[in-house]
């Protein structure tokens, strides 16, 4: 059984920047040497609310980018949608405020040892980890093509610096307000054939990941995805984020996405389980 990321630490860190970018907030935290151990796909668990708050549980946020350079030393960047109580609290933080974090947590994306043609597929703000991944892949000589989709234009997070880390960017929106009208999966087959994609990486809602995985299987491509499940603790204790995964031995186990994920092999996920325990799962 896996345990918490051995490089994770709990620290009080300073908010260096908090800027509203469209529907989201781009937040930069000074984390010192924690940035060195952070990889694309890792996440951070943040204590939200003050000492008198009834918001007890931490909130998990995907890490957009980590850097161990610059005038502030190590930093991690987050892209946060102010939807719930915890995310709204975080988005209200001011420069020089301090927050308590545990990072880096979870599994990261696997990076090929040789240059490849990679297709990165993201939905909404869930696409944030793909930008750091694109930088790593591009620095190692890989071709990187990215598809970003959302229901409306305002929900696509596509900063200019991210576009510079890829060869091509394709945008899709369900209402046609920007890019191609439709979903990310509508354009995937043509782009896979055009760019001769060899591996797919994806982040976003579970329904989107399921659809992306079906196309990956159709083209017989490896698919690494960062699953989205609610995480109450982020360190494998509470068991609220379990998903059914098929192991190398062929057995299906209810696995903790905060420990065994969030990055998993798309072909190992029992898609469509809708937070239930599928028949044939070990122990059922």
Those residues with Cβ within 8 angstroms of residue 216's Cβ, 6 or more apart along the chain or in another chain:
200, 222, 223, 266, 267
Q: Is residue 4 part of a domain?
A: no
Shared domain for 204 and 235, answered yes or no, is: no
8 Å CB contact between 15 and 81: no
CATH number at residue 156: 3.40.50.80
**Residue 3 covered by a domain:** no
Q: Is residue 255 included in any domain, yes or no?
A: yes
pTM score, whole prediction: 0.93
Helices marked H in 38-182: 85-91, 129-139, 160-163
Shared domain check, 140 and 78: no
How far apart are alpha carbons 71 and 84 in whole angstroms? Answer: 33
Euclidean distance between CA atoms 230 and 59, whole angstroms: 9
Say yes or no: 218 and 241 in one domain.
no
Q: Are residues 238 and 266 in the same domain?
A: yes
Same domain, 209 and 190: yes
For residue 58, give the nearest of 70, 73, 44, 46 by alpha carbon.
46
Residue 256 belongs to domain spanning? 229-284
Question: HSE on the CB side for 280, CA within 13 Å?
Answer: 9
Residue 121: inside a domain: yes
Q: What is the pLDDT of residues 164-220, one digit of tens each?
A: 889 999 999 999 999 999 999 999 999 999 999 999 999 999 999 999 999 999 999
Of the residues 83, 105, 127, the one at which a domain ends = 105
And the tokens for 4? 């918490």
How many domains, the chain? Answer: 3
Mean pLDDT of the 246-251 span: 90
DSSP letters along 227-272, please? -----SSSSSSS--SEEEEE-TTS-EEEEETTTT-SEEEGGGB-TT
Look at residues 177, 203, 226 and tell me which one is the last residue of a structural domain.
226
Does residue 25 belong to any structural domain of this protein? yes
Residue range 122-181, pLDDT digits in tens: 998 889 899 999 999 999 999 999 999 999 998 888 776 667 889 999 999 999 999 999
Residue 11 region by backbone torsions, left for phi larger than 0, else alpha for psi between -120 and 50, else beta: beta
Regarding whether 233 and 213 lie in a shared domain, the answer is: no
């Amino acid at each position: 059984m896996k345990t918490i990321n051995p490089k994770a630490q709990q620290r009080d860190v300073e908010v260096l920047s908090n800027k509203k970018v469209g529907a989201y907030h781009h937040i930069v935290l000074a984390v010192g040497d924690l940035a060195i151990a952070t990889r694309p796909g890792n996440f951070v668990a943040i204590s939200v609310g003050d000492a008198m708050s009834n918001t007890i549980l931490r909130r998990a946020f995907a890490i957009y980018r980590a850097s161990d350079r610059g005038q502030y030393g190590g930093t991690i960047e987050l892209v946060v949608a102010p939807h719930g109580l915890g995310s709204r609290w975080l988005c209200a933080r001011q420069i020089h405020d301090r927050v308590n974090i545990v990072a880096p947590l979870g599994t990261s994306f696997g990076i090929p040892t040789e240059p490849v043609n990679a297709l990165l597929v993201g939905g909404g703000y869930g696409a944030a980890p793909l930008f750091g991944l694109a930088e790593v892949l591009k620095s190692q000589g890989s071709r990187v093509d990215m598809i970003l989709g959302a229901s409306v234009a305002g929900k696509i997070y596509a900063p200019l610096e991210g576009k510079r880390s890829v060869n091509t960017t394709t945008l899709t929106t369900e209402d046609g307000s920007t890019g191609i009208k439709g979903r990310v999966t509508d354009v995937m087959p043509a782009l896979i054939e055009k760019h001769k994609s060899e591996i797919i990486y994806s982040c976003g809602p579970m329904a989107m990941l399921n659809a992306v995985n079906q196309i990956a299987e159709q083209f017989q491509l490896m698919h690494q995805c960062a699953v989205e499940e609610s995480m109450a603790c982020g360190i494998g204790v509470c068991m609220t984020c379990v998903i059914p995964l098929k192991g190398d031995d062929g057995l299906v186990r209810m696995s903790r996405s905060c420990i065994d994920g969030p990055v998993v092999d798309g072909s190992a996920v029992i898609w469509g389980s809708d937070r239930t325990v599928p028949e044939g799962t070990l122990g059922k």
